Amino acid sequence: MAGTGSAHLRPEVDSLLRVEDLVVTFSAGKRQLIQAVSGISFDILDGETVGLVGESGCGKSTTGRAIVQLPRPVSGKVTLGDQELTALRGEELRKIRPKIQMIFQDPISSLNPRRKIRDIVSEGLDIWEIGDKASRNQRVDEILNAVGIDPANGDRRPHEFSGGQCQRISIARAMITEPKLIICDEPVSALDVSVQAQIINLLQDMKQRYGLTLIFIAHDLAVVKNVSDRVVVMYLGKICEVGKPDTIYRQPAHPYSAALIAAIPVPDPKVKVSTENILGGEVPSPVSPPSGCRFRTRCPRATELCAEEEPQMREIATDQYVACHFPLSPGEVINFGAGV
């Protein structure tokens, strides 16, 4: 995997957000550096939903945060419209903030427990001094209605709401400044299945109603497939595969994508649970990632070539890009044989 290269990027004029060769590092003490994201590129068209998937530690959340420059990437370019975010500083960067918003995993801890939800939602308007007090209030009512929270409950505090309702309030807070792009970092992982479906439907409605563009970060592949127009599979700070969700799920080309898809539990007892297709082992330490293809330590197809040379992104089928020396052909099943 590896995934350097930018064969999968589309013409620059079409994209709303463009991420090129993004590198994010963290200090791990003792002068060690962890490269959480190592040179990934992707682009998002206006009105598109891009899903980022991968196991814990693959750098998907870090990528989302680096787009809003928190933390700032070490190198690489992030461009929103015609503005290069990585080049902006101070006040100029602050002016961009209303256009990109985030929604986090844990709805309860991402809302300030001491504040009334009406104040939480209107904070963006207050900071940017948009409109007068009456029009702000009206705007808050509108947006609360739109996410399915009764504005009459606006004077309550977050603990009086359920997890699903808190996530609706988080969505209202993100929407209030009329952003172009919302980065959703595991927005439904902490919720029950029934509530999860409500929130996913709500995000889809909001997207249609307000013409939003979404980055949807999640480890649940079924959820990602449902919401995305384009899926980016990540592993250990690199991109493995990019393509349309229906294509990737029907015929994954990267062994890692195949492993992720095979691990999804199917709610049907007639589908035999197979221990053979299960990927064994764990993600290696990002302090000293494997040479060449980073997935080779867990990949049954790995050869010496994979250790020596990092595979580059290439188009394997129409609008399906993979970074693998030995991609799967359509219909091929890979046996990881690791079991437990």
Partner 1 sequence: MSKPEPLKSPDTAIMAAPHATLLEIKNLTTYFRSSHGLVRAVDGVSFDLNRGKTLGIVGESGSGKTVLARSIMGLLPKAGLERDGSILFEGDELINLGPKSMRPYWGAQMAMIFQDPMTSLNPVMKIGNQISESIREHLDVTKQYAKELAEQLLISVRIPEAAQRLDEYPHQLSGGMRQRVCIAVALACGPKLLFADEPTTALDVTVQAQILDLMAIAQRERFMAMILITHDLGVVAGRTDEIVVMYAGRIVERAKTETLFSHMKMPYTEALLQSIPRVDQASHVRLATIPGRPPDLVNPPAGCKFAARCNYAQDRCLQEEPPLREASPGHEYRCWFPVDTPEGADALARNRERGTTASGLIFNPPTPALANKQKS
In the complex, the residues that contact partner 1 under the rule CB under 8 A are 55-56, 162-164, 192-198, 200-201, 204, 219-223, 225-229, 244-246, 249, 259-273, 275, 278-282, 338-340
| Tokens read off for 217 | 């970060």
Q: 249: number of CA atoms within 13 Å, CB side?
A: 18
Q: Pairing state of beta strands 181-185 and 75-80? A: unpaired
Task: State in angstroms the smallest separation of the CB of 108 from partner 1.
Answer: 12
Question: Are the C-beta atoms of residues 48 and 11 closer than 8 Å to each other?
Answer: no
Nearer to partner 1, 90 or 281 (CB): 281
| Tokens read off for 333 | 């099943």
| Tokens read off for 34 | 């962890």
CA 253/CA 1 separation, integer angstroms = 11
Proportion of the chain in helix, strand, coil states, percent, rounded to 5:
35, 20, 45
Nearer to partner 1, 181 or 261 (CB): 261
Task: State in angstroms the smallest separation of the CB of 173 from partner 1.
Answer: 21
Task: State in angstroms the smallest separation of the CB of 55 from partner 1.
Answer: 4
Nearer to partner 1, 97 or 225 (CB): 225
Task: State in angstroms the smallest separation of the CB of 137 from partner 1.
Answer: 27
CA 151/CA 323 separation, integer angstroms = 49
Nearer to partner 1, 28 or 87 (CB): 28
What backbone phi and psi angles, to 5 degrees, belong to 251? -140, 80
Task: State in angstroms the smallest separation of the CB of 300 from partner 1.
Answer: 13
Q: Pairing state of beta strands 49-53 and 230-235? A: parallel
Nearer to partner 1, 244 or 314 (CB): 244
Give, rounded to a whole angstrom, the gap between the first and last alpha carbons of the chain: 23
Residue 271 CB burial class (10 angstroms; 0-12, 13-18, ≥19): exposed
Nearer to partner 1, 57 or 124 (CB): 57
In the chain, count H helices and then E strands. Answer: 10, 12
Task: State in angstroms the smallest separation of the CB of 16 from partner 1.
Answer: 19
CA 198/CA 279 separation, integer angstroms = 31
Nearer to partner 1, 109 or 201 (CB): 201
Task: State in angstroms the smallest separation of the CB of 244 from partner 1.
Answer: 8
Nearer to partner 1, 134 or 340 (CB): 340
| Tokens read off for 5 | 């290269």
| Tokens read off for 66 | 């680096």
CA 124/CA 103 separation, integer angstroms = 14
Task: State in angstroms the smallest separation of the CB of 199 from partner 1.
Answer: 9
Nearer to partner 1, 99 or 244 (CB): 244
CA 89/CA 80 separation, integer angstroms = 15
Task: State in angstroms the smallest separation of the CB of 258 from partner 1.
Answer: 11
* Closest residue by Cα to residue 250 from 331, 180, 336: 331
